[in-house]
Amino acid sequence: MNKIDTIANFLNKKSKKCLAINGSWGIGKTYLWKQVEKKLSKDKKVVYIDLFGKESYKQILEEIVVSLHGDYNKITKTTFKGLEGLVKSISGGLIDIDSDAIFSFLKKEDFYNIIVCFDNIERKSDNLSLKEILGLVNLLKEEKECNVVVIFHEEELKEQDDNLTENNKEEENEQDFNSWYQKAKEEQTKQYNSKNWYRIYKEKVIDCEITIKDNDEVAKAIIKDKVNKYTKITDEIRNIIGNIIFERYKEQCNGNLRLLYHVLEHIDYFNTQCFLLFCKYENKKTFSDALKLNYISLIFQIKKYLSTKIEENDISSNYHLYEQYLKNMFYLNKEEKYQLRRDFYQTLKIDLYYKLQNCKIEYLVGNLSDEQFVKDIENSLLKIDFYSKNGMTHFPYGFYQILLSTYTQITKKKLSDIEEKINQHYIEALVIEEFKFDLNHDYRSDIALLKLLENEKWKDYYEETKEKYKTSKYENINALINSYENIENSFYLEAIKQYNFFKREELVQLFKNNNDFCKKFFNHFSKNMVINHKFDDDLNNHLFQAYLDFLNLDENKIKKSIVLEYINSQNSVLRKLLIE
Phi, then psi, of 210 in degrees rounded to 5: -115, 120
Residue 491 shares a structural domain with residue 437? no
Which 3-state string (H, E, C) describes 333-400? CHHHHHHHHHHHHHHCCHHHHHHHHHHHHHHHHCCCCHHHHHHHHHHHHHHCCCCCCCCCCCCCHHHH
Q: Pick the residue with more confidence: 11 or 158?
A: 11
Same domain, 67 and 191: yes
Same domain (yes/no): 428, 455: yes
Q: What is the mean pLDDT of residues 381-399?
A: 67
For residues 140 and 206, membership in a common domain is answered with: yes
327 with 452, same domain: the answer is no
pLDDT band at 494 (very low <50, low <70, confident <90, very high): low
Distance CA 281, CA 541 (A): 44
What's the confidence (pLDDT) of residue 92?
42
Residue 172 has pLDDT above 50, yes or no: no
Are 223 and 333 part of one and the same domain? yes
Check whether residue 152 and residue 224 sit in a common domain.
Answer: no
Same domain, 462 and 494: no
From 179, 211, 243, give the residue that closes a domain. Answer: 211
Q: Is 484's pLDDT higher than 60?
A: yes
Task: Assess if residue 477 is contained within a domain.
Answer: no
For residues 418 and 486, state if they share a domain: no
Domain count across the chain: 4
Over residues 316-329, the mean pLDDT reads: 83
Asked whether residue 230 falls in the same domain as residue 316, the answer is yes
Q: In CATH, what number is assigned to the domain containing residue 96? A: 3.40.50
- 30, 263, 569 from 21: Cα distances, Å: 9, 25, 67
185 shares its domain with 240: no
Lowest mean pLDDT among 60-74, 220-234, 564-578: 60-74
Reply yes or no on whether the pLDDT at 437 is more than 90: no
How far is CA 160 from its chain centroid? 26
Judgement on whether residues 316 and 457 belong to the same structural domain of the protein:
no
Asked whether the predicted pLDDT for residue 547 surpasses 90, the reply is yes
| Of the listed ranges 278-292, 294-308, 336-350, 550-564, the one predicted with least confidence | 336-350
Q: Report d(CA 83, CA 86) in Å as an integer.
A: 6
Using pLDDT thresholds of 50, 70 and 90, give the confidence band for residue 332. Answer: very high
Band of pLDDT at residue 88, cut at 50, 70 and 90: very low
Instruction: Tell me the average pLDDT across 183-196.
Output: 52
CA distance 388 to 339: 10
Per-residue confidence (pLDDT) for residue 244, from 0 to 100 = 97
Domain around 137: 3-211
Residue 245 carries which side chain, given as an amino acid letter?
A: I
In whole angstroms, what is the distance from residue 131 CA to residue 161 CA?
13
Give me the count of residues in the chain.
580
pLDDT digits (tens, 9 = 90+) for 104-150: 767 888 888 899 999 988 888 888 888 888 888 988 988 888 899 99
Instruction: State residue 313's pLDDT score.
Output: 66
